[in-house]
Amino acid sequence: MLTEAKKEFIEFMMESDVLRFGDFVTKSGRNTPYFVNTGNYRTGKQIATLGKFYASLVKETIGDDFDCMFGPAYKGIPLAASAAASLYNEYGIDKPYFFNRKEEKDHGEGGSIVGYKPQNGDKVIIIEDVITAGTAIRETMPILKGAADVTVNDMFISVNRCEVGTTPGKTAIMEVGEDFGIKVHAIVTVADIYEYLKASGKYDDMIPKMEEYMAKYCIL
């Protein structure tokens, strides 16, 4: 269901040139009529607004039932930082955050983890942009498990593309749930974006392209 908050987020992504419509090719080689590039957020206002959307999703789904938040390098780093700031500013929830370096540091304190040092038994939430094939999470879990004996039950993303992953009949998010026991929460889904386009009446040329793409690659 397209709520007012979801509509606001879709419009925010479009205004920020993060959600674009046209002809694109995803990393998995699929031709797609829409593309999400969170690398296009570039102003203080944008990242502050984005943090509020993530914080709201965290608050309404799990409240403060977690110990720390992790942002995978590179795009997850500003997402985790802004979400942590907004959780405190909006709801008084003060939780530590941390992220990884792609290249391990061999001087100073060393290691690949920056920020909070996770402890055995910590409940970690992951803040990410999108999941297409689930590759990033498969790279992230060994980093987290290598840092401490942590539990990861929840992951928060901007857009659930609802696309089939490596296994026929299953989305990448279903696979992540089965392989790692992680529940993925999205601010919006491809179905929300489709509903938005239909309701706006300004994107009639995109509707059949979205329908064709969703029929081919999505499980709703």
Measure the CA angle with vertex 18, ends 14 and 22; round to 5°. 75
- Specify whether 185 is catalytic: no
CA gap 83, 61 in Å, rounded? 14
Spell out the residues 6+ positions from residue 199 whose beta carbon is closer than 8 angstroms to its own. 2
Catalytic residue of the set 7, 107, 123, 185: 107
CB atoms within 10 A of CB 120: 9
- Nearest alpha carbon to residue 161 among 178, 144, 143, 174: 174
CA gap 85, 206 in Å, rounded? 36
Q: Hey, what are 148's tokens?
A: 């401490």
Catalytic residue of the set 75, 105, 123, 170: 105
Q: Hey, what are 85's tokens?
A: 């700031």
- Specify whether 105 is catalytic: yes
CA gap 220, 215 in Å, rounded? 9
Q: Hey, what are 47's tokens?
A: 């990242």
Q: What residues are annotated to the active site? A: 105, 107
